[in-house]
Amino acid sequence: MTVTSDMTTLRQWYPVAYPNQIRPESTYDTTLLDQRIRLSRDDHSQITAHRLADDNSEMATIPIVQRFDTLFSTLGDSPRPLPQIAEFSEDDRRIIHCGSFRVRTSPCRIVENFLDMAHFCFVHTDVLGSIDRPEVLSYKTEYHPETDEIWAVDCQFFQPTASKSAAASGQGLMAHYSYRILSPFSVMLYKSAMNFAGRFDAICLFIQPLSETDCLCYMPMAILDNVSTKTDIIDFQQSIFVQDGIILENQRPKLMPLTPRSETPTRADLSSIAYRRWLKSSGVRFGLQSVEGS
Ligand SMILES: [Fe+2]
């Protein structure tokens, strides 16, 4: 496959593996933006990455950096800097990732689903939402020019089981959220942490587009939880993501149309509208249905 001509998409860092997937005794091959790449670890534990030719021989070296307990690479020159996420440096946080999930759809649809609070009560029933309390309360979207990011702030949603630590309490709560769109295909949320008043768990979603309609999703988290086991936290996040994956893979067309959603706009669509406008103004074409509908 030829590399995309979408320069905005090329000039991004993408997750390509977790560090523990790269072992000294073997190489790790994967795909980024339709290009085959290979990661390997040398005798000094240094990780390198190369693009692969059609015959699987190694071609040019490509950059590799480790951040948020995840390895990132890029195929473009002068990539947009990776975001600053202060929570990953705070001493009392637990840095946990819960594997990578394959979802066969556009990376844009995955970001949009992550931003969408309206689906909580229908898709994550009795966990992140309750059928009895489906309303998305008023919130705001903001553009931050200094980082070229979109934020959705002052989000609130009643959640029967907002997190693994909340499950232990046995009671629902009004969860407070902020969303932060970090790049075209990466997004994160800050969510009120149970038993840590005024502080928020940081949960990221970094997407590795294998192609325009096939992705691997990485979810490193910096969370505040002194009670739950790592396994319990991972199981909770994985069970949520499995539910999202089923919905996402059934959406048609797989490429996301850039036109506003056909449904009547609601509060829940505010962040979606801001994301779509930002994609358009950024010149992103990858993962999007062309204007002609092809
Ligand atoms: Fe979801």
pLDDT (tens, 9 = 90+) of the chain, 294 residues, equals 788 999 999 999 999 999 999 999 899 999 999 999 999 999 899 999 999 999 999 999 999 999 999 999 999 999 999 999 999 999 999 999 988 999 999 999 999 999 999 899 889 988 888 888 888 889 999 999 999 999 999 999 888 886 666 665 667 888 999 999 999 999 999 999 988 999 999 999 999 999 999 999 999 999 999 999 999 999 999 999 999 999 999 999 999 998 766 545 566 689 999 999 999 999 999 999 986 544
Give 209 Cα–ligand 1 centroid separation in angstroms: 19
Neighbours of ion ligand 1 (CB under 5 A): 244
Give 102 Cα–ligand 1 centroid separation in angstroms: 15
148 and 40, same domain (yes or no): no
Give 187 Cα–ligand 1 centroid separation in angstroms: 13
230 and 135, same domain (yes or no): yes
Give 247 Cα–ligand 1 centroid separation in angstroms: 9
Give 241 Cα–ligand 1 centroid separation in angstroms: 7
124 and 258, same domain (yes or no): yes
The domain that holds 47 is classified in CATH as 2.20.25.680
Burial of 173 (0-12, 13-18, 19+ CB in 10 A): middle
The domain that holds 141 is classified in CATH as 3.90.380.10
11 and 106, same domain (yes or no): no
Q: Is 172 part of any domain?
A: yes
Range of the domain at 151: 86-282
Number of domains in the chain: 2
Q: Which residue has the tokens 């979109």?
A: 150
Give 88 Cα–ligand 1 centroid separation in angstroms: 23
Give 63 Cα–ligand 1 centroid separation in angstroms: 32
120 and 166, same domain (yes or no): yes
The count of other CB atoms within 10 Å of the CB of residue 55 is 5
101 and 63, same domain (yes or no): no
Give 159 Cα–ligand 1 centroid separation in angstroms: 13
49 and 105, same domain (yes or no): no
